[in-house]
Amino acid sequence: MEILLKISAKRLYQLIFRLMFVLMIAVALIASQQYSVWVIPAYSQVKQPKKRTNIFDLLFGKRESLRTPFRVNRVKRVKLRRNDILRPRRKRSAPVVVVEEKREDALKILVAGDFMAGALAWGMEQAYIENSDVVIVDISEGLSGFVRSDVKDWPGDIAFHIDEIKPAAVVILGGMNDRQQMALEGGKVKKLGEPWLAAYNSRTEKLAKTVREKNLPLIWVGLPPVKSGKMTTDYLVFNEIYRTRSEAVNGVFVNIWDGFTNEEGHFVSAGPDINGQIKRLRTSDGINMTKTGKRKLAFYVNKAIRKLTGIGTKALLVSLPGTENPKIALPQYDPAKTGKTIVYSFASPALDGGSELEGDGVDLKEEEAKKSVSYQLVNGGILPKTHPGRIDHYGVTANEAPPTTDETPALVEKQKDGGTKVLTKPVVPRS
């Protein structure tokens, strides 16, 4: 019995020892997992020292390079639209502009003023680039105006430029820099004060008179609106001065204000160009013009020049289809002797059923012309006689033509069988 107890106690100790051993292994495994979760990331953030390169790495390369996975460069997919596949896009080619070589005796247009006048001159050059008979002469000074004569004295210097260049017309655009004090004999005066306005009117008046004394057409261009409200308000005052002084000497004032504003009269940076397409007209500063704005600025001025002097009319006619050699239609028959009226009557002179229109190559004598319908209508207001049933018969018996007689030329009607039938009465058209 004692032996059995000793054996069972021994097995019990072995079992307990095994359980403790398994428990220790389990605790070790759990501890190792917690260590990998909480300790390894922090440890990985520590900068590890680089291993030195040995001779084997130089000969055979580093072992890490063999373990680096091969990276594939992915190509970015581009989604094509159906229209791109069917109709690939083509780059728009710029329109070909034929630059005409200017003639030696070409008419010169003088453009004077500040930086806005320089923009205008560029636009006018583009407008007349295909016209060899017109040359734009730009004498603008960017910082000039009618306030500071030390920069440029336009009233005093314009006569010299005219005598030197001998232009056919003078275009003036200035005042963008004139929102400042003016230096007079008594000192500087405030902008838009009474002394300032008096001196400003005097200077602009002298400039306009000097141009007109040279017997040249004067085109004074108004200032455009700008983004700043205060500047715009001052420019409205300036434009009224320019209008008054230019028109006082029979000059032409070109108001471009509406071309750069909206329906409410406010400044806009984009608007219709000379072709009616909405494009950007002003730069980001709200003052200067883009190329499109310069072309639009010149559009108004060229229109005034063409109306005032006729310069550019030839280019306008040539640009129209079928007008290379325009012919003036002369009247072949002129009962009112106006020299311009061309008369084509749809009735024959005597309502005798003639087949030719009156005035269409018919050489009528004066006696025959007085009997014609057109002569009686133009000179006496007498309407032609009509027949009942015609579209121009309004039921007025006093204006009816007399019935046909034997003396009246017979009217002939074609038959279906090819023969003819003589009618003694006028043919009444069927309704």
pLDDT at 406: 47
Name the band, by pLDDT with cuts 50, 70 and 90, for residue 366.
Answer: low
| Per-residue pLDDT reduced to its tens digit, 115-127 | 999 999 999 999 9
The CA distance from 142 to 148, in Å, is 12
Q: By the 8 A CB rule, do 113 and 172 touch?
A: yes
Give me the pLDDT at residue 92, please. Answer: 56
pLDDT at 403: 61
Mean residue pLDDT of the chain comes to 75
Question: Rounded distance, CA 368 to CA 63, Å?
Answer: 122
Average pLDDT over residues 28-52: 54
CA 187 to chain centre: 46
CATH architecture designation of domain 107-319: 3-Layer(aba) Sandwich (3.40)
Q: Tell me: the pLDDT tens digits for 85-129?
A: 455 555 555 555 556 688 888 899 999 999 999 999 999 999 999
For the stretch 12-28, pLDDT in tens is 777 887 888 888 887 77
As to burial, measured by CB atoms within 10 angstroms (0-12 exposed, 13-18 middle, 19+ buried), residue 351 is: middle
Query: Is the pLDDT score of 147 beyond 60?
Result: yes
pLDDT in tens, 234-275: 999 999 999 999 999 999 999 999 999 998 889 999 999 999
Helix axes 115-127, 291-309, angle to 10 degrees: 70
pLDDT reading at 321 higher than 80 = no
Q: Is the pTM of this model over 0.75?
A: no
Most confident among 66-70, 147-151, 369-373 (mean pLDDT):
147-151
